[in-house]
């Protein structure tokens, strides 16, 4: 057992020998500085006294021989990448004294099976648990308001996770490629689901999105092949690029009247979709929005649509008849498929619409005058 004391004030700053196997840090040390034990692959045991308050950046990064570690109740901060790449680490107890867990803190800890985030932590940093492939359960406290970018990306063993209602933001790629994740509920105060958040979550069969969400980012559910149905919240105005691309199991989707734009490749490759109802609020259907939706047999293009971009319905081989408003601009190869017939219908023009409103209000005026004389 190697005993290590402070070398500058109350901190350990000098990098430890890579040959060391067991370390006891002397009482009185308050900080383990950056990189002190980095890549000490022979280190299998470390005793940290209850005087330590800060574990620096990459302090134990790459210590592949460490299997477990207990942090004392004095620790308040775990630095960025502090335990990154500790592939042998199967368990770690994080005390409630910890208020901050840095980015990359447990990145690629492939042996870690479960973790409990302390009750005073307000956010999970970016990439914090990236690639923790054995992680099957994690408890997030009500103090957390933000889940950082790629926080749980590639946690392929994670089957379910409960996100507390305190969370208001979910970062980009947060759950990307969590292939074991079957269901998740988005908290009621989240307003935006970031780009690529659930990309490649192939086992995801259900997800509940609250009405607080106003934006669904690019490729948010790309390749979620197990997803069969989804209801888009009533305040969403745009379904962004590739949002549901290659969701081959998707058979039904409900689009609210708030949506004005269906983005490029939004539903491209959704081969299970047989029909879809577009609300009268939609004005633009982006390029390749429904390309290769080979199961699609019917769709109604509302009068509100002014542009159908190129390849919007390209290779929708079962789509035989489509009626499009006369005023709508149709892009190149928008309906390119064998035997498809495009019919133009005359929409209600602006002048006619104005005339109808004028007649309606005149009738109301006459009715009021008539009632006043009775």
**How far is it, in rounded angstroms, from Cα 282 to Cα 270?**
20
Specify the residue for token string 């009533």: 234
Residue 188: count other Cβ atoms within 10 Å of its Cβ. Answer: 13
Cα torsion 61, 64, 66, 70: sign: positive
Percent of the chain with pLDDT over 90: 73
Cα torsion 281, 284, 287, 292: sign: positive
pLDDT digits (tens, 9 = 90+) for 242-254: 999 999 999 989 8
- Residue 65: which pLDDT band, with cuts at 50, 70 and 90? very high
Residue 82: count other Cβ atoms within 10 Å of its Cβ. Answer: 26
Distances (CA, A) of 223 to 178, 262, 268, 326: 12, 18, 10, 35
- pLDDT of 349 > 50? The answer is no
Within 89-235, strands assigned E span 91-93, 100-101, 114-116, 123-124, 137-139, 146-147, 169-170, 183-185, 192-193, 206-208, 215-216, 229-231
In a 3-state reduction of DSSP, which class is residue 356?
helix
Tokens of 84: 């990154």
Percent of the chain with pLDDT over 70: 95
**How far is it, in rounded angstroms, from Cα 198 to Cα 191?**
16
- pLDDT of 112 > 50? The answer is yes
Single pTM value for the model = 0.87
pLDDT digits (tens, 9 = 90+) for 183-226: 888 999 999 898 999 999 999 998 889 999 998 999 999 999 99
Distances (CA, A) of 56 to 52, 97, 99, 189, 273: 11, 16, 14, 33, 51
Contacts for 269-276: CB closer than 8 Å, 24+ residues apart: 269/245, 269/293, 270/244, 270/245, 270/246, 271/295, 272/228, 272/247, 272/248, 274/298, 275/299
Q: What is the mean pLDDT of residues 82-103?
A: 95
Q: So what's the pLDDT on residue 372?
A: 73
pLDDT digits (tens, 9 = 90+) for 282-315: 999 999 999 999 999 989 899 999 999 999 999 9
Q: Which helix (H) or strand (E) holds 351?
A: helix 350-373
Phi/psi zone of residue 76: left (φ > 0), alpha (ψ -120 to 50 degrees), beta?
A: alpha
Structural domains present in the chain: 1-112 (3.80.10.10)
Q: Identify any residues that bridge with 323 across adjacent strands, giving them in sequence order.
A: 343
pLDDT mean across residues, the chain:
91
Tokens of 106: 């447990």
């Amino acid at each position: 057992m190697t005993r290590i004391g402070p070398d500058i004030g109350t901190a350990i700053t000098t990098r430890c020998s890579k040959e060391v196997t067991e370390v006891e840090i002397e009482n009185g040390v308050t900080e383990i500085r950056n990189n002190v034990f980095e890549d000490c692959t022979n280190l299998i045991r470390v005793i940290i006294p209850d005087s330590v308050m800060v574990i620096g950046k990459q302090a134990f990064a790459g210590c592949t021989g460490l299997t477990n570690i207990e942090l004392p109740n004095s620790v308040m901060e775990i630095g960025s990448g502090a335990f990154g790449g500790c592939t042998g680490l199967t368990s770690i107890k994080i005390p409630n004294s910890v208020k901050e867990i840095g980015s990359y803190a447990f990145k690629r800890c492939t042996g870690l099976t479960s973790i409990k985030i302390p009750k005073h932590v307000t956010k999970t940093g970016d990439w914090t648990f990236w690639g923790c492939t054995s992680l099957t359960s994690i408890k997030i406290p009500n103090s957390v308001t933000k889940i950082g970018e790629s926080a749980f990306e590639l946690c392929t063993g994670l089957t379910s996770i409960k996100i507390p209602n305190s969370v208001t933001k979910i970062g980009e790629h947060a759950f990307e490629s969590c292939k074991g994740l079957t269901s998740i509920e988005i908290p009621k105060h989240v307003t935006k689901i970031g780009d690529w958040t659930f990309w490649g979550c192939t086992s995801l069969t259900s997800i509940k999105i609250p009405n607080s969400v106003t934006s669904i980012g690019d490729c948010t559910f790309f390749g979620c092949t197990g997803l069969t149905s989804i209801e888009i919240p009533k305040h969403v105005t745009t379904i962004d690029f590739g949002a549901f691309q290659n969701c081959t199991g998707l058979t039904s989707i409900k689009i609210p009247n708030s949506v004005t734009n269906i983005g490029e490749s939004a539903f491209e490759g959704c081969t299970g979709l047989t029909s879809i109802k577009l609300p009268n609020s939609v004005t633009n259907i982006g390029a390749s929005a429904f390309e290769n939706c080979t199961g699609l047999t019917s769709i109604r293009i509302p009068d509100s649509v002014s542009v159908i971009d190129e390849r919007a319905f390209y290779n929708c081989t079962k789509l035989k008849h489509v009626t499009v408003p006369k005023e709508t601009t149709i892009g190149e190869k928008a309906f390119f498929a064998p035997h498809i017939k495009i019919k133009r219908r005359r929409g209600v023009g602006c002048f006619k619409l104005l005339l109808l409103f004028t007649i309606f209000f005149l009738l109301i005026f006459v009715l009021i005058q008539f009632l006043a004389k009775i």
